[in-house]
Structure 1
Amino acid sequence: MAELPQSRHLATEIPGPKAQELAKRRASFVAAGVSSLMGTYAVRSQDGIVEDVDGNRLIDLGSGIAVTSVGASAPAVVDAVQTQVAELTHTCFMATPYEGYIAVAEKLAELAPINGELRTALFNSGAEAVENAVKIARTHTGRQAVAALDHAYHGRTTLTMALTAKSMPYKHGFGPFAPRSTGSPAPTPTGTSSMARQQQSVPSPPWRRASEPETSQP
């Protein structure tokens, strides 16, 4: 593939004729609730530039938002993907396991700033990871309630919307949500001490199991 010039260039008005035709097809077959910020349609990107269907080159300020950006068309990533799909296309690890899953778990254990043994389960999205973290926590502790930090965003599934603080545009009109969730103030450089004092005075939660001692929880 030819190198994409790293400069902004407008070949047409935006949206151009090809983008307008795509917009008509989109209106007929893509749900209206799936919105987009960019007013045109990308065909390729490289480094800091994205090129649309009409040949316009734009600065890529989105940078892979909603997914982890490793750089547009990074050669190392392109080579690794091409090699992998030629040998083994993606399969469910729980049905047909493969080394790559284990290698990722090993790398995460190496990078995580946590002492002791670490084990990883990989999921399809951030929201699915949060849902499974809640299931693991509930199974391990036997408790049902979940606390999320104020101002936090966790996803758009029913459970993760319940944990997400901001109503618009994430959760307005989509209730009722999963019960047994509550907010907790996030630590700040100036408010940590005050928050800690408030937490020390919080009584034991009403969902405490009968076998648990009457002590405050960290």
Structure 2
Amino acid sequence: MSQGRALAVAPPSPGGGSAAYSEDEDECTDELIDRILENYQFHFKPETRVKLKQRLNDMSIGACYSKPWGREPRWRFTLKPAAKDAAVGKYVRSLLVIPAMSTAAVFSSKIQLSVFRLQFVASYNWQRRAPSLEYRLTTKWSDGPRIKRKERFQVSDRCHVRCKWNLEAHLPDMEGHVGGGGNAVDVDYGSLMFDISQLDVCLDIS
């Protein structure tokens, strides 16, 4: 039986009286409420970020103050080619530095190989003096179907707010039968998970 299903409560025996029926009815109602509260959830524990961006010639410099929910804040610094079709942008996507993790990483641009996408990440941890090279090979279908979006709200010419949210939903359904014994009705109350996972305040100080 899938998650979210609840069985119809059989009526009490004639000897139970109205008190027994009322007690069973209350238990069924409480169980239904608990199931709905469990299956229909709204999560608002976003990672909050304040981003500063400035363009210098052909490069874009960014500083991000990030505060994950329930964790210590940290700074992230990025250096990106301002145009993807520039000479550097054809090979390098960005340089990322996270001082709190003692890590610097260079992300290559994604290389298109038919239906495949290949990307390299060269990183260095200066606290452990440990370099590393990673690769990511995916297909254009790797993400699969999902509802995940970033909403953008323009506050001014140099400031906008972005909200990242995710939605997973399963619609209710019901099935049953007449005769043959067993439970006559089987109800799936469905589920819905709505999550706001990130809030960005972006400022262009160019």
What range describes the TM-score normalised by the shorter chain of this pair? Answer: under 0.3
TM-score, normalized by length of structure 1?
0.18
| Higher relative helix content | 1
| Higher relative strand content | 2
Select the structure with the greater relative contact order (CA < 8 A; seq sep ≥ 6): 2
TM-score, normalized by length of structure 2?
0.19
